Structure 1
Amino acid sequence: MKVSGAILFFVFASVFLSCTSKVKQESDINYHKNDSVVKFVKQELPESFEEFNKKFHSDSLFQVSRVDFPIEGKHVAGFEQYNWTRKNWQFQAIPVAEKTEIGEYQHSLVKTDTLVTERFWIDNSGFEVERQFKLIGNKWFLIYYNDINL
């Protein structure tokens, strides 16, 4: 009986191991249905602009990582003028908002699924700030920042 019990154990163990190996191999490959290959692709959902907006305007390291340098737009203050670089970047603490509490500024906000454009200005004053955020590879980036104060 001991010999047949040992043989039975090895038969069950080899069947079990060959089944789990086969399942692993099939899951690593593709699912075959009626001689056609069905591929399961994990798709990453686009980052929420609201969550990005909060983190971008509160975390300086995250902010710099999400500015698509070299960025379009420039800083102009009187006779001082320069393009934005990592070295001269100024932390932006004011989040994009639907409405603003600043009465003297005009404000516009245009949002699509892949682009957010916000603009502040004072008519006939030489003051205008515009920034654009774009969804690139399911992550939001600042792609344009114009800060004009003449």
Structure 2
Amino acid sequence: MNIKFSKQIVILIVLVLISCNGNKDKANVKSQKDSAEKDLVKTKIQSENFEDFNKKFHADSLFQVSRVDFPIEGKHISGFEQHEWTRKNWQFQVIPVAEGTEIGEYEHSVVKTDSLVTEKFWIPDSGFEVERQFKLINNKWFLIFYNDINL
């Protein structure tokens, strides 16, 4: 065999190996990207729907207590009475979060993101304010903050 011919074969084999390895790396990157996209879709699919949670939370007292992240932030203040929320003094909440609530003289706002819902009721310049926050934790909604202030 000729040395020139041998060099060409060696070069050809090296090029083939490099080419195959490059395609393998591209396939691995594509596979990792596909896997990450599937995980993201899976997470979104498995996340609890806020509207379904909202209905059940305000209809089922046992479910509600299981989804209040005690010790919860916020306070109950009524005149001179004040306490932080615990499992023992929790008051069942029956009014669901709603977008367009119009209750007499109360102002109302709801701010929603994919992982946090904040609702506020207040009467301007009155000392009355209710605020609650729900947060998506491990794909389940929890009440994490509740202020009930009536001075």
Cα deviation, 1:67-111, whole Å, max 9, x if unaligned, reads 000000000000000000000000000000001130210001100
Q: Which has the higher strand share?
A: 1
How many residue pairs match? The answer is: 116
Q: 2:85 aligns to what? A: 84
The answer as to whether partners of 2:132 and 2:147 remain within 8 angstroms in 1 is yes
Q: Counterparts of 2:145 and 2:55 in 1: how far apart (Å)? A: 18
Cα deviation, 1:26-47, whole Å, max 9, x if unaligned, reads xxxxxxxx8x798897945110
Q: 2:15 aligns to what? A: none
Q: Counterparts of 2:65 and 2:83 in 1: how far apart (Å)? A: 18
Q: Secondary structure at the match of 1:88?
A: coil
Identity of aligned residues (%): 75
The AA in structure 1 aligned to 2:51 is E
The answer as to whether partners of 2:76 and 2:82 remain within 8 angstroms in 1 is yes
Q: Secondary structure at the match of 2:64?
A: helix
Q: Counterparts of 1:99 and 1:76 in 2: how far apart (Å)? A: 26
Give the TM-score taking structure 2 as reference length: 0.72
Q: Which has the higher helix share?
A: 2
* Off by >6 Å, runs of 4+ in structure 1: 36-42
Give the TM-score taking structure 1 as reference length: 0.72
